[in-house]
Structure 1
Amino acid sequence: MKKYLGALLALPMLVFAQQSERVTAQQFVDLQQGQNAHEGFRRAHAKGICVTGEFRSNGSLTDYSNAAVFNKGAHPFVGRFSIAGNNPSAPDLKAPVRSLALSFATSAAQQWRIAMNTPPVMAVSDPHTFYQQIKAIQSGTIAEFFAEHPESADFIAWKDNYQPSGSFAAEQYHSINAFYLTKDNGDKQPVRWAMRPTVNVANTSFDGDDALQNELTERLTSGPVIFDWVFTLATSEDDENDPAVGWPESREQIVAGQIAINDWQKQLNGDCHEINYDPLVLPDGIEATRDPILRARSAAYAESYRRRAVEVFNGAFEEQQND
Structure 2
Amino acid sequence: MEHEDLKPPAAPARELRRRSALIGIGAVACVGAVDVGAFAYVSGRATPDRLTPGRLADGFETVFGKHPGFRRNHAKGVSVAGEFVASGAGTSVSEATVFEDGRRTPVTGRFSLSGGVPDVADATKTVRGLALRFDLPDGEQWRTAMVNLPVFQDRTPQGFYDRMLAFKALPDTGQPDPEKKAAFLAEHPETVRAMELAKKHPPTSGFADSTFNGLNAFHFTNGSGGSVPVRWSMVPLQPVRAAAKGPIGRNELFETLIDAFDGGPLRWRLVLTIGGPEDPLDDATLPWPDSRRTLDAGVLTLSSVHTEASGNARDINFDPTVLPRGIAVSDDPLLSARSSVYARSFARRTGEPDTKGTVKVTGKHDD
Q: TM-score, length-normalised on structure 2?
A: 0.79
Residue 266 of structure 1 and its aligned partner are, at CA, apart by 1.1
Match of 2:278 in 1: 237
The alpha-carbon distance between structure 1 residues 16 and 293, as it changes in their structure 2 partners (threshold 3 A), is farther
2:292 corresponds to which of 226, 229, 251: 251
2:210 corresponds to which of 166, 171, 175: 171
> Which structure has the bigger radius of gyration?
2
SS of residue in 2 equivalent to 1:287: strand
Match of 2:328 in 1: 287
CA contact (8 A) 1:100 1:117 kept: yes
SS of residue in 2 equivalent to 1:131: helix
Match of 2:26 in 1: none
Match of 2:50 in 1: 22
Alignment of structure 1 residues 287-306 onto 2, 5 Å: 287-306=328-347
Residue 209 of structure 1 and its aligned partner are, at CA, apart by 1.8
Q: Distance in 1 between matches of 2:190 and 2:206?
A: 30
Q: Distance in 2 between matches of 1:286 and 1:132?
A: 31
2:135 corresponds to which of 105, 120, 124: 105
1:81 is aligned to 2:79: no
Q: TM-score, length-normalised on structure 1?
A: 0.89
Residue 268 of structure 1 and its aligned partner are, at CA, apart by 3.4
Match of 2:152 in 1: 122
2:163 maps to a residue whose letter is Q
CA contact (8 A) 2:145 2:318 kept: yes
Match of 1:44 in 2: 73
Residue 145 of structure 1 and its aligned partner are, at CA, apart by 1.8
Higher strand share: 1
2:194 maps to a residue whose letter is F
The alpha-carbon distance between structure 1 residues 307 and 11, as it changes in their structure 2 partners (threshold 3 A), is farther
CA contact (8 A) 2:35 2:317 kept: no
Alignment of structure 1 residues 148-167 onto 2, 5 Å: 148-167=187-206
Residue 257 of structure 1 and its aligned partner are, at CA, apart by 1.3
Residue 46 of structure 1 and its aligned partner are, at CA, apart by 0.1
CA contact (8 A) 1:16 1:22 kept: no
Which deviations, in whole Å up to 9, do the C-alpha atoms of 1:121-163 show, x marking residues without a partner?
Answer: 2222221222111111115333432232222254122232232
Which deviations, in whole Å up to 9, do the C-alpha atoms of 1:194-245 show, x marking residues without a partner?
Answer: 1112221324699532111111111111121111111110010112122121
Match of 1:273 in 2: 314
Residue 14 of structure 1 and its aligned partner are, at CA, apart by 5.4
The alpha-carbon distance between structure 1 residues 203 and 2, as it changes in their structure 2 partners (threshold 3 A), is closer
SS of residue in 1 equivalent to 2:280: coil
Segments of 5+ residues of structure 2 without an aligned counterpart are 1-28, 169-175, 361-367
CA contact (8 A) 2:232 2:272 kept: yes
Which deviations, in whole Å up to 9, do the C-alpha atoms of 1:103-126 show, x marking residues without a partner?
Answer: 011135301111001112222222
SS of residue in 1 equivalent to 2:231: strand
Alignment of structure 1 residues 207-246 onto 2, 5 Å: 208-246=249-287
Residue 2 of structure 1 and its aligned partner are, at CA, apart by 5.8
Match of 1:189 in 2: 228
CA contact (8 A) 1:119 1:155 kept: no
Match of 2:23 in 1: none
2:99 maps to a residue whose letter is F
CA contact (8 A) 2:155 2:334 kept: yes
- Identity across matched positions, percent: 34
1:31 is aligned to 2:70: no
Which deviations, in whole Å up to 9, do the C-alpha atoms of 1:262-289 show, x marking residues without a partner?
Answer: 1100123560000000000111111000
CA contact (8 A) 1:66 1:184 kept: yes
Alignment of structure 1 residues 134-149 onto 2, 5 Å: 134-138=164-168, 139-140=176-177, 141-149=180-188
Provide the aligned length of Structure 1 versus Structure 2.
Answer: 316
SS of residue in 2 equivalent to 1:62: helix
CA contact (8 A) 1:16 1:127 kept: no
4+ runs of 1 displaced by more than 6 Å? 10-13
The alpha-carbon distance between structure 1 residues 162 and 120, as it changes in their structure 2 partners (threshold 3 A), is closer
CA contact (8 A) 2:39 2:339 kept: no
CA contact (8 A) 2:123 2:248 kept: no
SS of residue in 2 equivalent to 1:301: helix
Q: Distance in 1 between matches of 2:154 and 2:254?
A: 30
The alpha-carbon distance between structure 1 residues 110 and 36, as it changes in their structure 2 partners (threshold 3 A), is same
The alpha-carbon distance between structure 1 residues 59 and 41, as it changes in their structure 2 partners (threshold 3 A), is same
SS of residue in 1 equivalent to 2:139: coil
SS of residue in 2 equivalent to 1:213: helix
Q: Distance in 1 between matches of 2:337 and 2:281?
A: 16
Q: Distance in 2 between matches of 1:154 and 1:97?
A: 17
Match of 2:14 in 1: none
